[in-house]
């Protein structure tokens, strides 16, 4: 999978950060040959993500559920076996990944549910934890969100700073044509929208507009370009934006403001 290499690197860094020279408490208290199993249980309603990382942390774990599954409080979704020392020394790192990624997936699922029936697709953004973008975007997708660009390398998005430095919307678009990719342009004013349409932008991003402003501009644009709404979008107001009938709504809150979910890991001798 595309995210597996990123996951391996992230896990290596996390374990090195936590273990350092060794788990001195576990090594002092727990016999080296004691076998055990770790049972992962949801403590709240959540959308699961990151469970596919468990085989990178433990040998042959039993995965009862998959990323994207809705998990109920008290439900056991995975079991990992091994020495008690290994399970104890990796418990916190494992929970950090599961709680963070499932938090993103759960928050993403709430955004998707909030616009149900409108036909609008929710997009994530690049507002991710440094070094964890691939994993957090995987988690967002598990919650039903459509991944926007992974980085600066895979899509053209002309933003307000590009426009200012290039000398205007038209100049920025004309220069970007050489790349040969569809061009998306961020627009904050009606004049910028008109110019982007005249220049053949494939998608227009309506930035930091109220739902009422966005609805007027969407009516003006018609079907001449795809329309994305972004800027200030929250779980509380996303439905209002969706009722303006854009094609997409993007929100950085899906990743940068997702609260971790409550997952318990119980470790038992076997």
Q: What confidence tens digit (pLDDT) does each residue in 45-59 have?
A: 999 999 999 999 999
Q: What local confidence, expressed as pLDDT, does residue 3 receive?
A: 75
Q: What residue spans define the domains of the chain?
A: 4-112+258-269, 118-256
The whole-model pTM stands at 0.95
Considering the domain delimited by 4-112+258-269, tell me its CATH architecture. Alpha-Beta Complex (3.90)
What does residue 268 show for φ and ψ, rounded to 5 degrees? -130, 140
| Nearest in space to 131 (alpha carbons), one of 242, 10, 218 | 10
Q: Residue 114: is it exposed, middle or buried by C-beta count within 10 angstroms (0-12/13-18/19+)?
A: buried
Is 4-112+258-269's fold the same as 118-256's?
no
Record: fold of 118-256: TIM Barrel (3.20.20)
Q: Is 247 a catalytic residue?
A: no
As a 3-state breakdown, the chain gives helix, strand, coil percent values, each rounded to 5, of 45, 20, 35
Give one word for 14, left, alpha or beta, with left for phi > 0 and alpha for psi -120 to 50. Answer: alpha
Q: Residue 247: is it exposed, middle or buried by C-beta count within 10 angstroms (0-12/13-18/19+)?
A: middle
Q: Is 159 a catalytic residue?
A: yes
- Which listed residue (110, 127, 188, 245) is catalytic? 127
- Which listed residue (91, 192, 207, 228) is catalytic? 207
Task: Summarize pLDDT for 124-146 with one digit per residue, the tens.
Answer: 999 999 999 999 999 999 999 99
């Amino acid at each position: 999978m595309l995210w597996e290499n990123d996951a391996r690197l992230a896990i290596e860094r996390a374990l090195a950060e936590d273990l350092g020279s060794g788990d001195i408490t576990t090594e002092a208290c727990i016999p080296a040959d004691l076998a055990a199993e770790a049972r992962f249980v949801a403590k709240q309603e959540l959308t699961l993500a990151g469970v596919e990382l468990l085989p990178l942390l433990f040998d042959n774990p039993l995965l009862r559920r998959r990323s994207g599954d809705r998990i109920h409080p008290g439900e056991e979704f995975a079991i990992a076996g091994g020495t008690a020392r290994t399970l104890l020394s990796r418990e916190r790192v494992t929970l950090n990944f599961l709680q963070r990624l499932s938090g993103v997936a759960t928050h993403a699922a709430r955004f998707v549910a909030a616009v149900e029936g409108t036909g609008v697709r929710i997009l994530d953004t690049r507002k991710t934890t440094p070094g964890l973008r691939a994993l957090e975007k995987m988690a967002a997708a598990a919650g039903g969100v459509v991944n926007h660009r992974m980085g600066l390398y895979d899509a053209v998005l002309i933003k307000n700073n590009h426009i200012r430095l290039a000398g205007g919307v038209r100049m920025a678009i004309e220069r970007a044509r050489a790349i040969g990719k569809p061009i998306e342009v961020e627009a904050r004013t009606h004049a910028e929208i008109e110019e982007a349409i005249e220049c053949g932008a494939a998608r227009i991003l309506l930035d930091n507009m109220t739902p009422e402003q966005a609805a007027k501009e969407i009516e003006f644009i018609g079907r001449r370009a795809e329309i994305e709404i972004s800027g200030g979008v929250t779980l509380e107001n996303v439905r209002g934006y969706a009722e303006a009938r854009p094609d997409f709504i993007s929100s950085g809150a899906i990743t940068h403001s997702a609260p971790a979910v409550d997952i318990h890991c119980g470790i038992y001798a076997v």
